[in-house]
Amino acid sequence: MNWEKIGDFLLSFKKKSIYLGMFILVSIPLIMKMSTRTYITEEVESIYDKVEEVYEYNQENPNDKQAIFVSIDFAPSSKAETSPMLNALLRHAFMRDIPVLGWAGVRTAADYGIERLNSVAKEYGKKYGEDYIYLGIAYPFLQAVLSLNSDVRIFSSTDYYGTDTYEIPIMKQFHSYNNIGLLVSISSTSLSELYIQYSNTLFDQDVAAGVTAVNAARLYPYLQSDQLVGMMGGLKGAAEYEQLVNKLEKKVIGEDVKNYLREFYKKKDPSEYEKKYYEPKFTETQLINKMNSRKLARMGMSSQAVAHFYVIILIIIANVGYFIKRKYE
Partner 1 sequence: MGTILWSTFAVFLTLSIFSFLIKDNPFYKFAEHLFAGISVGYLVVITFTQIFIPRVWKPLMNSIDTGNILRSAFLIIGVFIGLLYLSRASNKYSWLSRYPISIVVGFGSGFAIAPSLNARVLKQLHSTVVEDGQSLLNIQKIIAFFRDPSFSSLYNATYGPLLVIGVLVVLIYFFFSFKNDNPVIKYTRTPALLYMMVGFGAAFGYTFMARISLFVDRMNFILNRWWPLIQNKLM
Partner 2 sequence: MKRQYPMILTFVFGLIGFILRFSPILNEKYLNDLLSWTMAIAAFAVVIAVISLVKHHAEKIRRKHKDMIYSFVTFIGLIVMALVGILGHYMPGSIWKSIFDNLYKYVRTPLDATMFSLLAFYISSAAYRAFRARTWHATALLISGFIVMIGRVAFGPLMIFADITNWIMLIPTTAVMRAIMIGVGLGITATSIKIILGIETSYLGGGEK
275: helix, strand or coil? coil
Distances from the Cα of 328 to the Cαs of 13, 316, 321, in angstroms? 20, 18, 11
Q: Which is nearer to partner 1, 218 or 327 (CB)?
A: 218
Taking CB under 8 A as the criterion, the residue among 59, 76, 254, 268 binding partner 2 is: 76
Name the nearest CA neighbour of 201 among 238, 232, 226, 174.
226
**74-99: b (≥16 Cβ within 10 Å) or e:** beeebbbbbbbbbbbbbbbbbbbebb
Q: Does 308 bind partner 2 (CB under 8 A)?
A: yes
Q: Does 199 bind partner 2 (CB under 8 A)?
A: no
Q: What is the DSSP letter of 64?
A: S
Count CB neighbours of 305 within 10 A: 14
| Segment near partner 2 (CB under 8 A); pick from 51-59, 61-69, 252-260, 302-310 | 302-310
Q: Does 189 bind partner 2 (CB under 8 A)?
A: no
CB of 71 to partner 1, least distance (A): 15
Check residue 97 and give left, alpha or beta (phi > 0: left; psi -120 to 50: alpha).
Answer: left
CB of 171 to partner 2, least distance (A): 17
Distant-in-sequence, close-in-space partners of 52: CB < 8 Å, separation ≥ 6: 96
**Residues at the interface with partner 1 (CB under 8 A):** 16, 19, 22-23, 26-27, 30-31, 33, 77-81, 107-108, 110-111, 136-137, 139-140, 142, 155-158, 160, 162, 193, 196-198, 200-202, 212-214, 216-218, 221, 224-227, 233-236, 285, 288-289, 292, 296, 299-300, 303-304, 307-308, 311
- 322 contacts which partner out of partner 2, partner 1, none, CB within 5 to 8 A by kind? partner 2
CB 65 within 8 A of CB 179: yes
Site string for partner 2, 219-258 (x = CB under 8 A): xxx-xx---------x-x----------------------
CB 113 within 8 A of CB 103: yes
According to DSSP, the residues that pair with 68 across neighbouring strands are 100, 182
Residues found near partner 2 in the complex (CB under 8 A): 13, 15, 18-19, 22, 36-39, 41, 75-80, 107-108, 111-112, 115, 139-140, 142-143, 146-147, 150, 154-155, 161, 217-221, 223-224, 234, 236, 275-276, 301, 304-305, 307-312, 314-315, 317-319, 322
